[in-house]
Amino acid sequence: MAKKQGISYSADAGLIRGEGAMRQAGSFVDAAKSIGAGFDVTSKEMARGIAARKNEQAKIDANVANSIRAMKGNVDVTGLTATDQKAVNTFLIEQKDIYAQAANAASTLKPGTPEYTAQVDIMNNVNNSFVALKENLNSYELGKTQYIDSSQDFSEGNNIGNKKFTSDVFTNKNPFRVGAGGNLIFSSDKGDVDFKDIDMPFKKNYEAALELDNMYKAVYSSGGFDESQRNSFETKLRAMAASNPDAFKSVAADGLNSYANYNNITPDMYDDPTKENEFIEAFIQNTLNGAQKAAANGKAAKKSDDPNNNKGARTPTPSAIKYGEEVFINGKSMGVYDYGYGYDADGNSVKYYRKPHGDKGWTTTLGDAPDPTTTPTTTTTVPNEYPEWVTDKKLYDDLISQYPNLSKEMYDYKIEQKNKK
């Protein structure tokens, strides 16, 4: 076993030889002075290094500060609900932290290098998300205003589920969260929905209703709806359905067509997307039936307006009747009658007479008028002398000035009218 070496307190031979060599060389080295000079040089270099590092750090800090100032993170949340404000603020804090870290890393890298570019891309993406968030929030606030202003014009033909979802979104009942890129995300029964993909409910389509009305008027005016006309009408309906099926949903659900009946269209045809074709077919068939009816009505109206197609006597219409007037023939009073013009059996215009204010008994011959008031008489006026049936002297004087041949019937009629007042 080797003997353990002890600690030697003798002079080191190497150090002695070195000391001898230095003395032989004829020079003396002041170790303390040499060490001091070395410290002076080192401290100056350290000071310069520290200053340089501080300058570099200042540049980095300046670059970061400039980058932070360039960050477009000022988003107004004052118009949002407390829940939505929290969602926006959480997103902003997270993204600003990502931006600051990227800005700090980029400031230590050489511009143009892949590492530097990667950090700049991160900052740009954050900035772009802030810009998108601002735009989405502005659109959201505008959408809420538009929704309220237009709510009375929305059609009943909208999908009821979609209509409720949209209502909740624009009336602050469905809070959002901020997703990647600054998008507003809303929850629905069908999953997450990006705000940009939310459509307003469609409005009542009066334009489509007017177009259909004009089509019906053309059919009504023609009075016909043969196979060729029916095919043409149907082709136009299918073209309209292809371009905007929601227009037909509005016409049917909002009752904008007075010619056709759409009561056989069930609610699921409006709300189930898989039944849209079923809805269109039902709508088209009902509309064609309405057109058939319009054509029949038009044909009947034409026949009614053409005397040659309407043989048969027709008494006066109410607007053509003169009620309770004394009738004179050749200056002679024939009594008090209702009268007016109608048509005889051959479609010729003739004058009809009847008992005053009666509902029936029209005749074209005055002498044959049913239940005439009396046989017309001639009254001779003698000063201060009046017929025995006169009960109102002043009325008699007024009437005799209008009707020189005043009859008892006319007088009685006027007394009756006066008493009613």
- Domain boundary (276, 305, 334) is at 305
326-364 pLDDT, tens digit per residue, is 777 766 777 788 888 888 777 778 888 887 755 557 787
Closest CA to 386 of 396, 374, 377: 396
Lowest mean pLDDT across 185-189, 224-228, 341-345, 376-380: 376-380
pLDDT at 403 over 90: no
Backbone angles phi, psi at 330, to 5 degrees: 55, 40
The per-residue pLDDT for 75 is 73
Amino acid at 275: K
Q: Are residues 58 and 157 in the same domain?
A: yes
Cα(279)–Cα(288) distance, integer angstroms = 14
Cα(217)–Cα(211) distance, integer angstroms = 10
363-372 pLDDT, tens digit per residue, is 877 754 444 4
Length of the chain: 421
Tokens of 246: 């929601």
Q: Under a CB-based contact definition with an 8 Å cutoff, are residues 326 and 336 in contact?
A: yes
Cα(376)–Cα(405) distance, integer angstroms = 9
Band (pLDDT 50/70/90 cuts) for residue 319 is confident
Please check whether residue 264 lies inside any domain of the structure: yes
The per-residue pLDDT for 7 is 35
Residues with Cβ < 8 Å from 67, sequence gap 6 or more? 99, 103, 106, 107, 123
192-204 pLDDT, tens digit per residue, is 999 999 999 999 9
Q: Are residues 96 and 111 in the same domain?
A: yes
Amino acid at 56: E
| Mean pLDDT score of the chain | 78
Closest CA to 237 of 166, 185, 290: 290
pLDDT at 59 over 60: no
Segment 43-66 mean pLDDT: 59
| Structural domains counted in the chain | 3
Backbone angles phi, psi at 302, to 5 degrees: -60, -45
Q: Are residues 228 and 148 in the same domain?
A: no
The per-residue pLDDT for 382 is 39
pLDDT at 288 over 50: yes
The per-residue pLDDT for 344 is 78
4-50 pLDDT, tens digit per residue, is 344 333 333 333 333 344 444 444 444 445 445 555 656 677 667 66
β-bridge mates for residue 186, sequence order: 176, 193
Lowest mean pLDDT across 222-236, 315-329, 368-382: 368-382
Please check whether residue 141 lies inside any domain of the structure: yes
Segment 62-76 mean pLDDT: 53
- Domain boundary (278, 305, 332) is at 305
pLDDT at 218 over 70: yes
Q: Are residues 59 and 196 in the same domain?
A: yes
Lowest mean pLDDT across 100-109, 224-233, 263-272, 347-356: 347-356
Q: Are residues 283 and 375 in the same domain?
A: no
Which tops the pLDDT comparison, 75 or 404? 75
β-bridge mates for residue 326, sequence order: 336
Domain that holds residue 82: 46-203
- Domain boundary (279, 305, 331) is at 305
Cα(100)–Cα(92) distance, integer angstroms = 12
125-177 pLDDT, tens digit per residue, is 999 999 999 999 999 999 999 999 999 999 999 999 999 999 999 999 999 99
Q: Are residues 122 and 266 in the same domain?
A: no
SS3 annotation, 280-327: HHHHHHHHHHHHHHHHHHHHHHHHHHCHHHCCCCECCCHHHCEEEEEE
Cα(344)–Cα(351) distance, integer angstroms = 9
Tokens of 159: 């999908």
Q: Under a CB-based contact definition with an 8 Å cutoff, are residues 81 and 95 in contact?
A: no
Q: Are residues 402 and 298 in the same domain?
A: no
Segment 236-256 mean pLDDT: 96
Which tops the pLDDT comparison, 50 or 217? 217
177: three-class secondary structure by DSSP: strand
Strands 322-329 and 332-343, by their bridges, are antiparallel
